[in-house]
Amino acid sequence: MSAHFDLLKTDTHTAARRGRLRTRHGVVETPIFMPVGTQGTVKALTPAHLKEIGSQIILGNTYHLNLRPGSERVRALGGLHRFMGWDGPILTDSGGFQVFSLAKLREVREDGIAFQSHLDGANLFLGPREVMQIQANLGSDIAMVIDECPPWPCEREVCARAVERSLRWAGQCRDIARDSGFLAAGHHVFGIVQGSTFDDLRREAAEGLAALDLPGYAVGGVSVGEPEPEMLKQVGAATPFMPADKPRYTMGLGTPPQMLKMIALGVDMFDCVLPSRVARNGLVFTPEGPLNLRNERHKDDPSPISAEVVNYTTSFSRAYLRHLVIAEEMLAGTLLTLHNLHFYLDLMRQAREHIEAGNYFAWHRSWVERYEVGAAERLRKA
């Protein structure tokens, strides 16, 4: 058992775990979903909204915050928590993934990644020293190491080099965090398991990282275009080799059924822009699958999004919410984001309860089935 992570229970029929992660800004009950606050705000919501829907920990994006407003500025203003008015735990990514998805003219070098800002084309560089300094400036409770995220599909040779390089960078990040006192001050640093679709490389990465004795581990390089079964296979190939006494996190995932399936594989933490992004386009989650509020058939519907889900947004009618979406009112973005994030957070609460009750396997199977049957039915009607 690590000092900062209590593994409270492991499920008997699946690899699902009930845990408790301690951070400088409080305790996180796992499994947990982390709303994404890319630019120092979880889009469309106030920190008060985040508390209201039961958020325990949120995510900040190093790549974005370092470009604007700049991590030195955030530091001078008291750190990211104070800057954005969120006093709970914050996990920040290392920025590496955004370099691959957003930046221009990137070049992976042995010592890090050179790239141009997508905002103004400025020449920038992120290596182990840079990402650890930026995350220290932000005051992250959980900092991620910098890694190289290979594309999908990917040559084995290319992937093996990325795994090797990522492992070396992870060691450098750990050393910097140790020598600077970052770890001793109670900040956590998580390693990231790469390896694309190669099970042996995933294992090699996981074992190599485990040897670094980091406070937690993530699976990276998933959901980069591969089909869902492949994605789950990759997670399943990595988790058995990730230390059981440390929290496990899959980055950038997923749909509600995907999260439940990954919990069954032993994953504890998730983050994803999906619920926020689709909310801003009028799509909301229900236990019977997603619902597109743009659909004409909601025009006169006095019923809530879901009779089973209780949050501020479900106090309004589908007809009203549809009106806001069609009229392109900002309030649509706020209310639908609030609902979707609450839906994700509440799903994690249910997962925790069912792991505790010892019936996670049956519950998650029937939950996923109801969701997928409902989704298919709605597609048929649309």
The catalytic residues are: 93, 271
Smallest distance, Å, CB 335 to a copy of itself?
7
# residues near a copy of itself by CB under 8 A: 36
**Is 139 near a copy of itself (CB under 8 A)?**
no
Mode of pairing for the β-strands spanning 123-126 and 248-250: unpaired
**Which helix (DSSP H) or strand (DSSP E) does residue 238 occupy?**
helix 228-238
Of the two residues 305 and 335, which places its CB atom closer to a copy of itself in the complex?
335
**Is 51 near a copy of itself (CB under 8 A)?**
no
**Is 48 near a copy of itself (CB under 8 A)?**
yes
| One residue of 3, 327, 380, 381 binding a copy of itself per CB under 8 A | 327
In sequence order, what are the residues at sequence separation of 6 or more whose Cβ sits closer than 8 angstroms to the Cβ of residue 138?
A: 60, 62, 65, 71, 74, 75, 79, 80, 90, 92
Q: Terminal CA-to-CA distance of the chain, rounded, Å?
A: 50
Burial of 330 (0-12, 13-18, 19+ CB in 10 A): exposed
Of the two residues 77 and 244, which places its CB atom closer to a copy of itself in the complex?
77
What whole-number distance in Å separates Cα of residue 18 and Cα of residue 7? 6
**Which helix (DSSP H) or strand (DSSP E) does residue 64 occupy?**
helix 62-67
**Is 323 near a copy of itself (CB under 8 A)?**
yes
Number of neighbouring beta carbons within 10 Å of residue 293: 23
**Is 317 near a copy of itself (CB under 8 A)?**
yes
**Is 305 near a copy of itself (CB under 8 A)?**
no
Which two tokens mark 133?
């300094």
Burial 10-46 (b: 16+ CB within 10 A, else e): ebeebbbbbbebbbbbeebbbbbbbbbbbebbbbbbe
Stretch that binds a copy of itself, among 74-82, 91-99, 177-185, 244-252 (CB under 8 A): 74-82
| One residue of 2, 10, 46, 117 binding a copy of itself per CB under 8 A | 46
Which two tokens mark 100?
């691959």
What whole-number distance in Å separates Cα of residue 262 and Cα of residue 267? 6
| One residue of 41, 116, 180, 295 binding a copy of itself per CB under 8 A | 41
Stretch that binds a copy of itself, among 93-101, 150-158, 181-189, 309-317 (CB under 8 A): 309-317
| One residue of 124, 334, 344, 345 binding a copy of itself per CB under 8 A | 334
**Is 295 near a copy of itself (CB under 8 A)?**
no
What whole-number distance in Å separates Cα of residue 289 and Cα of residue 305? 11
Which two tokens mark 158?
């290319």
Smallest distance, Å, CB 64 to a copy of itself?
8
Which two tokens mark 365?
């199977």
Of the two residues 16 and 338, which places its CB atom closer to a copy of itself in the complex?
338
Of the two residues 224 and 332, which places its CB atom closer to a copy of itself in the complex?
332
Stretch that binds a copy of itself, among 174-182, 183-191, 328-336, 362-370 (CB under 8 A): 328-336
Of the two residues 80 and 264, which places its CB atom closer to a copy of itself in the complex?
80
| One residue of 4, 43, 203, 233 binding a copy of itself per CB under 8 A | 43
**Is 78 near a copy of itself (CB under 8 A)?**
yes
Nearest to 268 by CA among 97, 93, 57, 86: 57
What whole-number distance in Å separates Cα of residue 171 and Cα of residue 189? 11
**Is 100 near a copy of itself (CB under 8 A)?**
no
**Is 136 near a copy of itself (CB under 8 A)?**
no
Of the two residues 250 and 313, which places its CB atom closer to a copy of itself in the complex?
313
**Binding interface with a copy of itself (CB under 8 A):** 39-41, 43-46, 48, 68-69, 73, 76-78, 83-85, 299-300, 302, 312, 315-317, 319-320, 323-324, 326-327, 329-331, 333-335
